Structure 1
Amino acid sequence: MRTRPGGQAFAMEGYIANPDRILCSVAEVDGEVRGLQVLSGERPGNPYDAPVGQGIIGTHVHPAAHGLGAGRALFRRTEAAARAAGLDRLKAYIQADNAMGHGYYEAMGFVADRQHGTALIRVYRLT
């Protein structure tokens, strides 16, 4: 759950136009897009220092959709895509002060791994 502003350019460059993107899905609530989740595969030299064969997940859910199941529905699709892509684990980089994001990823089964700058890395094992 992203709490920091990003804007259109951030979403386009980091998610939609990302050449390593495996899946970009949206959640709708009452006919309006209220959530976005992106799964990218890692390549050598990636900015997250993650081994190849792992995935990076990013989640953004509008505050009005919190608690309505949008994030859970997005993760079901992402997990299936990650398994189909042969990934062995997913990593989420959540800012240390983003309590809502940490709560979401914990609820999805991610466990704390390590600190990376100002973010805490959480890991979800697929195998």
Structure 2
Amino acid sequence: MPIVVRPARRPDAPAMCQLLNAIIREGGTTAHREAFSEEKMIALYIEAPLGIACTVATEGEDVLGFQSLEWCDPNWTGDHALPADWTVIATYVAQAAHGQGIGRMLFSETIKAARAAGVKTIDATIRHENTGGLAYYSRMGFVDYHQYDEACAKRFDLT
């Protein structure tokens, strides 16, 4: 069955939760610490208020991975605030689907959406122990721009 990359929809939420919750349970590769409900998945990824794109890679009914891109929150007052004209990317791929090029397929679609939205800079902040994530974003062309205690901030400039 071919892998299909398309925009995420509400009916994808259960499978997306299953994928992300497995990553959270495994630990060490995401900043998320609490399991996602379908409502939370829809609110934070599928229909994010500042969202530009949320894309899934599917094979039949299975979600193999998903990637989101959203504008930075201009009202964020917490640690590591970014310029309001930057965007933030998040990528999740099922363990069983690693090495199949899912991340590259997702990023190809995300870049199209980013260009259409006029994005200039994408931030990917990855935990240091997430060596696979760090390598993935480097392969996609992201470059390090800041080191935090627990994470490395990488950027991708579209200009």
TM-score by length of 2: 0.71
| 1:8 lines up with 2:36 in the alignment | yes
- Tell me the CA shift for residue 42 of structure 1: 1.7
SS state at 1:8 partner: coil
| 1:94 lines up with 2:126 in the alignment | yes
Aligned to 2:26: none
How big is the alpha-carbon RMSD for the aligned residues of Structure 1 and Structure 2? 2.1
- Tell me the CA shift for residue 17 of structure 1: 4.0
Q: Whole-Å Cα distance in 2 between the matches of residues 14 and 120 of structure 1? A: 22
Deviates more, 1:8-17 or 1:75-84: 8-17
SS state at 1:60 partner: strand
Q: State whether residues 53 and 86 of structure 1, in contact with CA within 8 Å, keep that contact through their aligned partners in structure 2.
A: no
Quick one: which of 81, 85, 91 aligns to 1:59? Answer: 91
- Tell me the CA shift for residue 115 of structure 1: 2.1
Quick one: which of 108, 114, 123 aligns to 2:140? Answer: 108
Q: Whole-Å Cα distance in 2 between the matches of residues 79 and 120 of structure 1? A: 21
Q: Deviations over 1:19-50 (max 9, x none)?
A: 11111110113541110100001231235411
Aligned length: 127
Aligned to 1:27: 57
SS state at 1:44 partner: coil
Larger radius of gyration: 2
Aligned to 2:69: 39
* 5+ long unaligned stretches in structure 2: 1-22, 24-28
| 1:72 lines up with 2:104 in the alignment | yes
Task: Write the letter of the residue equivalent to 1:21.
Answer: G
* 5+ long unaligned stretches in structure 1: none
The structure carrying a bigger strand percent of its residues is 1
Q: Whole-Å Cα distance in 1 between the matches of residues 92 and 68 of structure 2? A: 9
Deviates more, 1:81-90 or 1:29-38: 29-38
- Tell me the CA shift for residue 54 of structure 1: 1.2
Q: Deviations over 1:31-80 (max 9, x none)?
A: 41110100001231235411121110000000111111111000001111
Aligned to 1:49: 81
- Tell me the CA shift for residue 16 of structure 1: 2.6
Task: Write the letter of the residue equivalent to 1:24.
Answer: C
Q: Whole-Å Cα distance in 2 between the matches of residues 26 and 40 of structure 1? A: 15
